[in-house]
Amino acid sequence: GAKLCFMGIPTPNIFDGAHNYHSPLEWVSVQDMCMAVRVIVEIAKIWEEKS
């Protein structure tokens, strides 16, 4: 992502709400995933306004 950002292509790190990444106990709640979707939609709206 850093190389793409340097080239002017936005590549934000978006959270997905997961916990204990890459472990046998990895999990995510539906509420956290829904919040991530809301954040992504808002970012898309901002990009659309500025384009």
At 10-39, the pLDDT tens digits run 787 888 888 999 999 999 999 999 999 999
Residue 34 in any domain: the answer is yes
Instruction: State how far the Cα of 3 lies from the Cα of 23, in Å rounded to an integer.
Output: 28
Q: Structural domain tally of the chain? A: 1
Q: Is residue 21 part of a domain?
A: yes
Query: Residue 8 pLDDT > 90, yes or no?
Result: no
1 pLDDT above the threshold of 90: no
Residue 25 lies in a domain: yes
pLDDT bin (cut points 50, 70, 90) of residue 46 is very high
- The answer to whether position 43 is within a domain reads yes
* Predicted pLDDT at 14: 82
What's the whole-model pTM score? 0.67
| Total residue count of the chain as it appears in this document | 51
Domain, as residue range, for 35:
15-50
- 7 lies in some domain: no
Q: Is 8 within the bounds of a domain? A: no
Whether residue 42 lies inside any domain: the answer is yes
Question: Is 9 part of a structural domain of the chain?
Answer: no
